Amino acid sequence: MACICVIDDQAMMRDSLAATLAVHDHRVSTFESAQEALTMIKQQSFDVVLTDLRMAGLDGIGLLREMRRLGIDVPVIVMTAHGSVPNAVEAMKLGAFDYIQKPFDGQEIEILIERALRERTLVRDNEIMRRTIEDFDRNRELVGESPAVRPILEKVQRVAQSSATVLITGESGTGKELIARAIHAASPRAAQPMLCVNCAALSPTLLESELFGHEKGAFTGADRMRKGRFELADGGTLLLDEVSEIAPPLQAKLLRVLQEHEFERVGSSVTRRVDVRVIATTNRDLRDWAAKARFREDLYYRLSVLPIEVPPLRERREDIPLLMDCFIERGAAREGRERPKFSPEALKVLQDYSWPGNVRELENLCERVCVLEAGREVTAAAIAPFLNGPIKTASAVAQGLQYRDGQILSDAERDLIVRTLERFGGHREKTARALGIGLRTLGLKLKKWREEGTFHEERRRHAAALV
């Protein structure tokens, strides 16, 4: 059974088509004009549109152009009593599925509708397959054997079978969106759309329109009706990224749609019901924010029915080699270059590094290495400029920096800076990046130590050359 939109300015033709299609258990909506039908096509999902070619006002060609402009992807069959080949060709160029000449019998139109439905199903299946492949490719990053990540991977499979809301927390760059997409891909809703809204990227007014849609004229610039993400994600999943940034007035509307599964577009009094599974992510402590009245407590509890906390990369160091292998393989394939190899010293640096940017920082580093070090052995010196924080002492020792018991902090700092300068041939910018300090800070320290004459005697000749 399909939902068919029939448009014809002749009542007898509309009634005849409606009766014929009803015999085949189709649900039929008839319209006298294309303009009237277009208003409903914007609001309701049709499987096939059957329209006359020549009508007063907006004709079949005009309807196709308008649907194309609005991005409405529905098979359109054009009916014509004139057998005008040029008009039919123009309709096909504008995206019409096919055309049929009047008069026609019920069997002809039913065969054409069945073809349109089969093709639409094929297109949808291909799109679902494409999204599944993309999700699979992304979810290869969902790897890990560490005690910190194994329970999360198991929880994803259990959570996926539910329709309850999920709150995914963790530092920036830990892969919260990846977890959300894995939940959707493993859920019964996988064949339906998954939409994402970055709640921090929009003003409260724009975010309300983005979530719930708006009617034409609801505010300045609203020149036409627009469906919101809740409406577009009906039957599927909606990801609310950085949900903590939603303004308090909008939090109340979000709470209502989570509780009642209904909402109104901005500027409308018509209540609409939806079936949407909501997954929210945040790098904030929402429990603490709720306690401090910075986030609605009732909304927090409604969102965190199924909470998942993603650990930072520094708490799952065992997974670094697995993640690196995934990123390097993908980066080398995308660039069409030979995979680089990491030296033992470089691997030691990466294992000891604190990873303030988490998995995203590791991925970025691997992409840089795939471009700049393709086919070569990657040394510790080569990756040090890419790291956004200081290398831990254990790595420094591995690179030959020795510290003695009782050495004061200022001497250790001076020793590390001079050694790092030596390692980069006196290049201050690379040294500052490797140490996680600003270039100006490095220059001031060197100037101060040169004026004080506080370098160790055995380092004085190096310092003189470097400063």
307/167 Cα distance (integer angstroms) = 5
Q: Is the pLDDT of residue 297 over 50?
A: yes
pLDDT of residue 18 exceeding 50: yes
Among positive and negative, which fits the CA dihedral 428, 431, 432, 433? positive
| CATH classification code of 140-311 | 3.40.50.300
Query: Which span out of 214-218, 295-299, 415-419 was modeled with the highest average pLDDT?
Result: 295-299
> What's the gap between Cα 284 and its chain centre?
19
Q: List, for residues 119-168, the tens digit of each pLDDT value.
A: 877 676 556 555 554 554 444 446 778 888 889 988 998 999 999 999 99
- Which CATH number applies to 315-395: 1.10.8.60, 1.10.3470.10, 3.20.20.190, 2.170.120.30? 1.10.8.60
Residue range 440-457: average pLDDT?
Answer: 73
pLDDT at site 404: 44
Is domain 401-466 in CATH 1.25.40, yes or no?
no
Q: Map out the domains of the chain as residue ranges.
A: 3-120, 140-311, 315-395, 401-466
Residue range 185-211, pLDDT digits in tens: 899 999 888 999 999 888 888 899 999
pLDDT at 4: 92
Question: pTM of the prediction?
Answer: 0.59
> Mind listing the pLDDT tens digit for each residue in 61-83?
899 988 888 888 889 998 887 65
Is the pLDDT reported for residue 38 higher than 80? yes
Torsion of the alpha carbons at 308, 309, 313 and 314, rounded to the nearest 10: -150
Same-fold call for 3-120 versus 315-395: no
Answer with the residue of higher pLDDT: 85 or 258. 258
> What average pLDDT score do residues 406-434 get?
73
User: What token pair was written down for 298?
Assistant: 């009732």
Sequence-ordered list of residues with C-beta below 8 angstroms from that of 270, at least 6 positions apart, any chain:
264
CATH class of 3-120: alpha beta
Which pLDDT belongs to residue 361? 92
Is 171 or 87 the better-scoring residue by pLDDT? 171
Whether residue 232 contacts residue 193, with contact meaning beta carbons closer than 8 Å, is answered with: yes
